[in-house]
Structure 1
Amino acid sequence: MKYFFYCSALIVALLAACQRSNENKQEAAQAEAAPETITHSFFVAGPQFTGIIGEQNEVIWDAGRKGARDGFVLPNGHILICWSDTVKEYNQNRDVIFTYAIDKSNKELGTVVRLENGLTMIAELGNNPRIIEVDQNGTIQHEVPLQPETDNIHMQTRMARKLENGNYLVPHLLAFAVKEYTPEGEVVNTIPTDRPELGGREGKNWPFTAIRLSNGNTLINLTHGNKTIEVDTNGDIVWKMSNEDVEGNPFADPCGAQRLRNGNTVIASYGTKESIKLFEVTPEKEIVWTYEGPYRVHHFQVLTTNGSALQGLPLK
């Protein structure tokens, strides 16, 4: 009898152990199947803060001056920032090693990009709207006149970028057009954003950010139209996303944008004072990451994802 009870207890214990093992395997399988929580660190140029936010939403680096328009963490870890009146580059020791002050003929700066040849591309707004390329001493090496089609200085242009072919991609808000300029200032291509399928001019689809993708398409944020579109080389819309595609109305004056290597798109919701200020969407229009911290985002640059560097080296 004692042997029977002993065997029974042993069987019960083995069954319990097997059940626990199966439960552990199920939990492990579920954990393996569950998508990894996405975390990003990113540079912010915004009205309340300019600097770097870490993956746990902590401030990693603060420029000490808010209200920046544009900027990047460079591959060497330096930070290049454009305010409305000046451009500065900071090294790892927080020393300012490059400065450009706006020309007296203009009123605002809107864009800064460090080019592969070492020159710095800057967009100036005002009576003499132009793109300039300056050397490390701030001396202009090249100048491209722009055609914004408006006297509203603040609305002449935003995130201009240089293309691999040497031309420039420039969004003009009140012209409802993204224009491609040659180095001589000739417009060789125009992408209209007041087209009927987007709601015409009544839709206020002002182009703010225009990014030429590796496949030749162009990603464009439309600010007051609260949309992001991608157009092909013929100018046809091949992808579009707005508040009609997702709950919560995350599109609120979308300004900066970035297409990640995985095909997802990160969008800045500049008009949001509360809730989502930056969000990542898949090509299927699913939101997979959001930043809901205290700082509004005008322009940004995603630096790391789950600890892996994408671009640049965040300063400590």
Structure 2
Amino acid sequence: MQLYRLSLAVIFSAILAGHCLGDDNSSVHSGRPRKVLVGDYSAKALAIVNEKGDIEWQTPIRNIHDAAKLANGNILFQTDWTEIVEMTPDYKIVWKYDAAKQNGNEGKRVEVHAFQRLADGSTMIVESGPARIIEVDAMGKLLKEVPLQVEHRNPHTDTRLVRKLDNGNYLVAHEGDNQVVREYDEKGKVVWEYKTGTKVYSALRLENGNTLIGMGDGHRVIEVDKQGKTVWSVEEKELPGITLAWVTMVERLANGNTLIVNCHAGEANPQLVEVDPQKKVVWTFKDFRRFGNSLPVARIIE
């Protein structure tokens, strides 16, 4: 894997971002506190916030719709809509990819809203505009290309989150004119779909075969079975004292609870909510001093 190091300008930017966010405890937790990786494009920052509310790690970003902490401890994230990087805890960039310049995209309008480090070390990247899923190796060489079915292509709305499944297929949230969650095989054939009717943000295939969906501007979370029947949901105003707004990332946690990222909901509401299967709120996170009303990315770090 080719090694890249931060320039002095980027290091300086990171220091400035740290100064702007501050290191005092400004996060309000209800329930048992969690360590979280959060990304907010209004604050222009991606950060790890520990259980005490202190920022352990942070870096500047311009736009963000996906991020993950890898098994090696590094963070895989995007700095803007086309550049994806892997960064160590001490701010060394050890891998990067520019979707605007590589693998045939020169001169094209393209945005990336989802990516994933795969088990074999390659990286899945989803390109809105070109409407394709690609997999690349450590040097950025194209290994696989999967076409997506998008009637009216738009680099900002073709897709949101996408994940490769254990069976080798891809689960795709189409935000734009499709407004649908689709499962594609490796040839680009649709083998399952669920029409959301809203600008959907995320979909996660569960161990029981159901699909958990963050319904975007539908202001809700649903779990549907293989036949598309809703078997569980959290509605816009169902949680006491909480209004769901633009529901972005959702995740079924190891303890059986569900994480909901509640973006654009305003300072009266938490940005992150964890509910148990009975829809009891067991944890919330709210930090509107260091982060803002455009926090679409959050992952709990165990």
Question: Which interval holds the TM-score relative to the shorter structure?
Answer: 0.7 to 0.9
Residue 262 (structure 2) aligns with: 269
Deviation at 1:112, TM superposition (A): 1.3
How many pairs align? 258
Deviation at 1:171, TM superposition (A): 0.8
Q: Which deviates more, 109-118 or 84-93? A: 84-93
RMSD: 1.6
Residue 230 (structure 2) aligns with: 237
Residue 55 (structure 1) aligns with: 51
Deviation at 1:287, TM superposition (A): 1.1
1:142–1:157 distance in 2 versus 1, CA, 3 Å: same
Match of 1:123 among 122, 126, 147: 126
Aligned counterparts, 1:71-150, within 5 A = 71-82=67-78, 83-102=80-99, 103-104=105-106, 105-126=108-129, 128-150=130-152
Q: Which consecutive residues of structure 1, in runs of 5 or more, have no partner in the other structure?
A: 1-35, 195-204, 305-316
Counterpart residue identity of residue 161, structure 2: M
Distance 2:284 2:186 in 1: 38
Distance 2:257 2:150 in 1: 31
Residue 302 (structure 1) aligns with: 300
Provide Cα deviations, 1:102-154, integer angstroms capped at 9, x if missing partner.
1333421111110001100111111x111110111111111111113333331
% identity of equivalent residues = 35
Q: State the TM-score, normalized to the length of structure 2.
A: 0.82
CA contact 1:57–1:293 (8 Å) conserved in 2: no
Aligned counterparts, 1:152-301, within 5 A = 152-173=154-175, 174-194=177-197, 205-274=198-267, 275-294=269-288, 295=291, 296-301=294-299
Deviation at 1:66, TM superposition (A): 4.2
| 3-state SS of 1:246 partner | coil
Distance 2:34 2:243 in 1: 18
Q: State the TM-score, normalized to the length of structure 1.
A: 0.78
CA contact 2:37–2:301 (8 Å) conserved in 1: yes
Distance 1:212 1:224 in 2: 20
CA contact 1:148–1:157 (8 Å) conserved in 2: no
Distance 2:38 2:55 in 1: 10
1:37–1:228 distance in 2 versus 1, CA, 3 Å: closer
Provide Cα deviations, 1:174-200, integer angstroms capped at 9, x if missing partner.
312111111111111111113xxxxxx
Deviation at 1:43, TM superposition (A): 0.9
Deviation at 1:88, TM superposition (A): 0.2
Q: Which deviates more, 287-296 or 216-225? A: 287-296
| 3-state SS of 2:156 partner | helix
1:46–1:148 distance in 2 versus 1, CA, 3 Å: farther
CA contact 2:204–2:213 (8 Å) conserved in 1: yes
CA contact 2:273–2:283 (8 Å) conserved in 1: yes
Residue 24 (structure 1) aligns with: none
Residue 12 (structure 1) aligns with: none
> Looking at CA atoms only, which structure, 1 or 2, has the larger radius of gyration?
1
Greater helix content = 1
Q: Which deviates more, 254-263 or 241-250? A: 241-250
Q: Which consecutive residues of structure 2, in runs of 5 or more, have no partner in the other structure?
A: 1-29, 100-104
